[in-house]
Amino acid sequence: MKRRILFAIKLFLLCAVIQQLNGQTYNTIISDSVINNLMKHEITTRAKSYSDSKIWKKKIKSTPTPWSEAIVELISAEYNDFITQKKFIIERDKRYFPKLKKLTEILSKSDFDYMESQFNSELNNKWNFKTKKGRLRDNPRRKYYSYTIPLFNKEHSVALLYSEFGGCSYCGGARMLVYIKKNNTWKLYKSIPLWES
């Protein structure tokens, strides 16, 4: 029995080492470089919230928000699975941007399945990128940004990212960001409002 337990522990540690060598600290499917590339682009190119200081760097919560805790619908308590999150995101998408393609037109069923596998393979690690426009903070209390780990389609050409601004007594909000990669550069396709306070 002791040998089996020791073998299981060694196997777990070996898997963790291999995962780190493969550059996958956010989830077991997408490499860190793909995720960090999009995150640095998001933090560098998107403007600050209207209530954030224009002088200082963005304060980024150093731990990604788990997708199961992303508040995509305020009136529901069910935030824990991909199917529920996807349903609310698609419903929100229908309300905005009538001239732009909807998520169901951009992403296929197999893309959504691939995103679900990423959703279910999240690891609890901190962000490991640096950017000139943002500072990672362990426990920011005021005016900070938090993000989920982006979910990508199969070709890694479309990404969904939950973004939240909080820590103000009178303001805050969340958006679902839809990025599309064109000519090897990420472009924000649309920013779907989810909630504001």
**pLDDT score recorded for residue 18:** 47
Give the burial string for 31-41 (b: 16+ CB within 10 Å, else e).
Answer: ebebbbbbbbb
- What average pLDDT does this structure show over 158-169? 87
CA dihedral 139, 38, 51, 60 (to 10 degrees): 10
**Which residue, 61, 83, 74, is CA-closest to 148?**
61
Say if CB 38 and CB 162 are below 8 A apart: no
**pLDDT score recorded for residue 23:** 63
Say if CB 37 and CB 29 are below 8 A apart: no
Helix (H) or strand (E) holding 74: none
- What average pLDDT does this structure show over 23-33? 86
pLDDT(17) > 60: no
pTM: predicted TM-score of the whole model, two decimal places: 0.84
